Amino acid sequence: MSIPHVLVIPCSAQGHVIPFMAVSKCLIEHGVRVTFVNTDFIHRRVIDALADKDFLGDRIHLVSIPDGLGPGDDRNNFGILLEANFQVMPAKLEDLIRDIEEKEGPKITCLVADGNMGWALQVARKMNIPRAVFWPASAALWHWELAFQRIPIQHQMFQLALGMPTMNTAHLAWACVGDLAAQKTVFSLVVRNNKFLEVADWLICNSSPNFESAVLNFAPRILPVGPLLSSHWLESSAGYFWPEDSNCLKWLDQQPHKSVIYVAFGSFTVFYQIQFRELALGLELCNKPFLRVVRPDTTEEKDDAYPKGFKERISGRGKLVGWAPQQKVLAHASIACFVSHCGWNSTMEGASNGIPFLCWPYFTDQFLNETYISDMWRVGLRFKRDESGIIRRSEFKCKVDQLLDDVSFKIRSSDIKEKLAKVVDEGGESHKNFSDFIQWMKAL
Ligand code: UDP
């Protein structure tokens, strides 16, 4: 019998490529071969950020196709990016598949596409390839995006069923993209995309029944297989868009047990100057060790964005890095808490390591994840903003103290860590769902 060969195709965002790498690593653990399809633009970033140690072996093959945009186009505009993808990528994907099959013989066994790349399922169907969708965010968000048939005009809180978290319509994906006309365009792209997903054989989601049982009961077609974390399988950090600064792990080795505040806001968050400085001063005020990620594009400030003398004053107890190996950081014994923007991956990673959170959401589903963390799982606290929307240094210190002084956060976080470890282990529901998926694939 030949080895199953799976084509995986994530959406062009860091928070999608990393969990797709986790799925890929999991697939190769089960003896499957993976061809990982990025856009040319993302592929270059991933290759440029690879470290020597990021050896993927011959089971994960990184390839790329054009995304439909020109070299200088704005790839942060999701509406434009998704439409360009839709116009150009299906034909390119088809060519790629034909090319692989011509050169390598056996047919592609299965295609696993991102929930935002519905068109790829249509290509697979046309080519008679079995297909699955992997959704790298919460089941709640996915369920809602699949459920809306008309764009909600008013901003209001809603709850689809009892036991599900509440969410504001202002935080749905399309509501964060400019004026109403732009929002309607993105909404219609989402609806079109969701229609394409109807031909999927499997809908799997990087979530866990421990977290989202109400939603998963309500939407039984969505099967949780998570939390899938790359670091569970391979040492390699391949998939990052920025080179990681692994020196911070050595720095963490020198810090006392559960003493360090880890601060990171994912791959998109950008700060106004005033908020950036206030956070720096808040960290200074806490007088505790901290590790803070500041991506090169975190502020719009060209010169030094930090308060005057900040770096000198915090040297010795504060470490600033451009990009951290976050999963390894969160697994480090010195970490006390995670100041996070509550992206779904960060949420899964913090929870899997039993780390309490301070929630600092920025947009879209990050507010929903904040609700999960602080109101439903009660493993974190939210910050209060002042009348101009700023989180002040005194509020920052107050919440850090409150979180670290209250042992109940530690207890609940450890409890969740234990449950999440069980659910992906032999006998757990996520483990069973993933095994069933692999069995299906191997029987094709
Ligand atoms: N991440 C990382 N190093 C950093 C910051 C983030 O490896 O310094 C990773 C993090 O572990 C997560 C991903 O980037 O897997 C961010 O995804 P998330 O869903 O949390 O947020 P997004 O970037 O999509 O807003």
List per-residue pLDDT tens for the chain, 444 residues long: 688 999 999 999 999 999 999 999 999 989 999 999 999 999 999 999 987 666 676 778 999 999 999 988 988 887 888 889 999 999 999 999 999 999 987 889 999 999 999 999 999 999 999 999 999 999 999 998 888 878 877 788 888 778 888 888 888 888 888 788 888 888 999 999 999 999 999 999 999 998 899 999 989 999 999 999 876 555 667 899 999 999 999 999 999 999 999 999 999 999 999 999 999 999 999 999 999 999 988 876 666 789 999 999 999 899 999 999 999 999 999 999 999 999 999 999 999 999 999 999 999 899 999 999 999 999 999 999 999 999 999 999 999 999 999 999 999 999 999 999 999 999 999 999 999 999 999 999
Give alpha helix (H) positions in 334-428: 344-352, 366-371, 393-405, 407-423
Specify the pairing of strand 60-65 against strand 318-321. unpaired
Determine whether the shortest distance from the Cβ of 345 to ligand 1 is under 6 A: yes
pTM above 0.85, yes or no: yes
CA of 14 to the centre of ligand 1 (A): 7
pLDDT of 231: 63
pLDDT of 184: 87
CA of 2 to the centre of ligand 1 (A): 36
Phi, psi of 63, deg, nearest 5: -135, 175
pLDDT of 372: 95
CA 348/CA 330 separation, integer angstroms: 11
Neighbouring CB atoms inside 10 A of 185's CB total 17
Q: Are 335 and 215 in contact (CB under 8 A)?
A: no
CA of 327 to the centre of ligand 1 (A): 9
pLDDT of 261: 98
Determine whether the shortest distance from the Cβ of 266 to ligand 1 is under 6 A: yes
Determine whether the shortest distance from the Cβ of 293 to ligand 1 is under 6 A: yes
Name the closest-CA residue to atom 17, ligand 1.
15
pLDDT of 87: 95
Provide the CB-side half-sphere exposure for 434 (13 A, CA). Answer: 28
Q: Which two tokens stand for residue 144?
A: 């809602």
Give all domains of the chain, ordered by start, each with its CATH number: 5-234+424-442 (3.40.50.2000), 247-405 (3.40.50.2000)
Determine whether the shortest distance from the Cβ of 18 to ligand 1 is under 6 A: yes
pLDDT of 174: 84
Determine whether the shortest distance from the Cβ of 324 to ligand 1 is under 6 A: yes
CA of 171 to the centre of ligand 1 (A): 19
- Spell out a b/e string for 197-216, using b for 16 or more CB atoms within 10 Å of the CB, else e: beebbbbbbbbbbbbbebbb
Of 325, 311, 259, give the one whose Cα is nearest residue 286: 259
| Mutation test residue for ligand 1: of 116, 228, 270, 326, the one with most atoms within 8 Å of CB | 326
